[in-house]
Amino acid sequence: MAEPVRVLVTGAAGQIAYSLLYSIAKGDVFGKDQPIALVLLDIAPMMPVLEGVVMELQDCALPLLREVIPTDKGEVAFKDLDAAILVGSMPRRDGMERKDLLKANVAIFKSQGESLEKYAKKTVKVLVVGNPANTNCLIAAKSAPSIPKENFSCLTRLDHNRASSQVAMRCGISAEFVKNVIIWGNHSSTQYPDVHHCKVNKQGKDVACFDAVKDEAWLKGDFISTVQQRGAAVIKARKLSSAMSAAKAICDHMRDIWTGTQEGNFISMGVYSTGNSYGVPEDLIYSFPVTIKDKTWKIVDGLAINDFSRAKMDATAAELVEERDTAVSFLGV
């Protein structure tokens, strides 16, 4: 059997991690034959809670889980990593915008980027989940200059899954029959869920989403705002932010990095924008449609962009430029 992959989850005593760790440990992400060493980082006051999580992982008696390492120390957590899933940070409460989190959370990602630089393998794949996810990811990447920027990505797969599911429900079909929705831009309420290239499989045939849904006003109106506001709607209802669906999206994202995307399908993730062909400003982590092969993503080029889409792509880019500049002014990176 293969050597264990060493996987870090930060915020390991929190609610997303509680939904996530079982799926990783049972092989849903890195493969059913791939042993795993799971490193769990949280802050010192959470160590007693983390001990409980470790006990539960042990009690699952999972064959692939070779080692569980709980810690509050960066030098232990980031050592020799193959994959890092950076969840730990402060979540948004009802009434807060993601920008409110910027100051508190970017400092965490600067310090974790520095730890990746010092201790992780240069091949480590880093997924940033903690909000504001795009800007935190950019700051972590900038703080780890010897790790290629392409190894860093942020989670917009939850938005992607939300968009697929909204279209599927509208058509009365399962979400597996909806492919190639796109989330452009920021994981925030300015994101642009775009269905101009989306296909819906109806009775075995791929049909353009606009023809399948037959309601352009909905697709250009309530559909977009529902996806943009879904995180806030869940917070309002649960008084806590999305956790089960976030964990599922993290698994989808990291599994696609590890094993690649299916031929003809693309997915959305926040990646480094420098060199993109869509006129998005450089030096951002911006969500694009990507395909993945050999653990390497590639932005899907050549998709037609109409004026409606252009305006929304530019608006979310402008928000990211502002977030980046604010973060840089806080941190001086």
Ligand X SMILES: O=C(O)CCC(=O)C(=O)O
Which residues contribute to the annotated binding site for substrate? 92, 98, 131, 162
The closest residue (CB) to ligand NAI is: 14
H-helix segments, 78-152 = 102-119, 133-142
User: Least Å distance between CB 293 and ligand NAI?
Assistant: 24
126 vs 144 by CB, closer to ligand X:
126
Listed residue (132, 309, 129) closest to 224, CA to CA: 309
41 vs 209 by CB, closer to ligand NAI:
41
Listed residue (98, 86, 215) closest to 155, CA to CA: 86
Q: Does 120 bind ligand NAI (CB under 6 A)?
A: no
Per the annotation, binding residues for NAD(+) are 42, 105, 129-131
CB atoms within 10 A of CB 261: 18
Contact with ligand NAI (CB under 6 A): which of 42, 252, 319, 323?
42
Which of the residues 314 through 333 are near ligand NAI (CB under 6 A)? none
State how far the Cα of 252 lies from the Cα of 161, in Å rounded to an integer: 9
Is the peptide bond between 132 and the residue preceding it cis, with omega within 30 degrees of 0? yes
Which of the residues 170 through 229 are near ligand NAI (CB under 6 A)? 187
Please answer whether residues 75 and 61 qualify as being in contact, where contact means their C-beta atoms are separated by less than 8 angstroms: no
Segment contacting ligand NAI by CB under 6 A, of 38-46, 191-199, 272-280, 315-323: 38-46
DSSP letter assigned to residue 30 = T
State how far the Cα of 282 lies from the Cα of 147, in Å rounded to an integer: 18
User: Least Å distance between CB 23 and ligand X?
Assistant: 18
Q: Collapsing DSSP states into helix, strand and coil, what is residue 15?
A: helix
Instruction: State the Cα torsion 10-14-15-20 to the nearest 10°.
Output: 30
Does the active-site annotation cover 253? no
Residue 234's binding partner out of ligand X, ligand NAI, none, with CB under 5 to 8 Å set by partner kind? ligand X
10 vs 131 by CB, closer to ligand X:
131
User: Least Å distance between CB 260 and ligand X?
Assistant: 25
Please answer whether residues 157 and 253 qualify as being in contact, where contact means their C-beta atoms are separated by less than 8 angstroms: yes
Burial class (CB in 10 A: 0-12, 13-18, 19+), 199: buried
Listed residue (121, 110, 187, 182) closest to 151, CA to CA: 121
Which of the residues 137 through 156 are near ligand NAI (CB under 6 A)? 155
Per the annotation, binding residues are 42, 92, 98, 105, 129-131, 162
Structure tokens at 296: 């390497």
User: Least Å distance between CB 277 and ligand X?
Assistant: 27
User: Least Å distance between CB 264 and ligand NAI?
Assistant: 25
Structure tokens at 324: 């980046």
- Identify the H or E element spanning 202: strand 199-202
Residue 153's binding partner out of ligand NAI, ligand X, none, with CB under 5 to 8 Å set by partner kind? none
Check 160, 187, 197, 253 and give the catalytic one.
187
Which of the residues 284 through 303 are near ligand NAI (CB under 6 A)? none
User: Least Å distance between CB 115 and ligand X?
Assistant: 24
Q: Does 252 bind ligand NAI (CB under 6 A)?
A: no
Please answer whether residues 142 and 175 qualify as being in contact, where contact means their C-beta atoms are separated by less than 8 angstroms: no
Residue 132's binding partner out of ligand X, ligand NAI, none, with CB under 5 to 8 Å set by partner kind? none
Residues annotated catalytic, as ranges:
187
- Binding site residues, ligand NAI, CB under 6 A: 10-11, 13-16, 41-43, 46, 87-89, 91-92, 108, 129-131, 133, 155, 158, 187, 241-243, 246
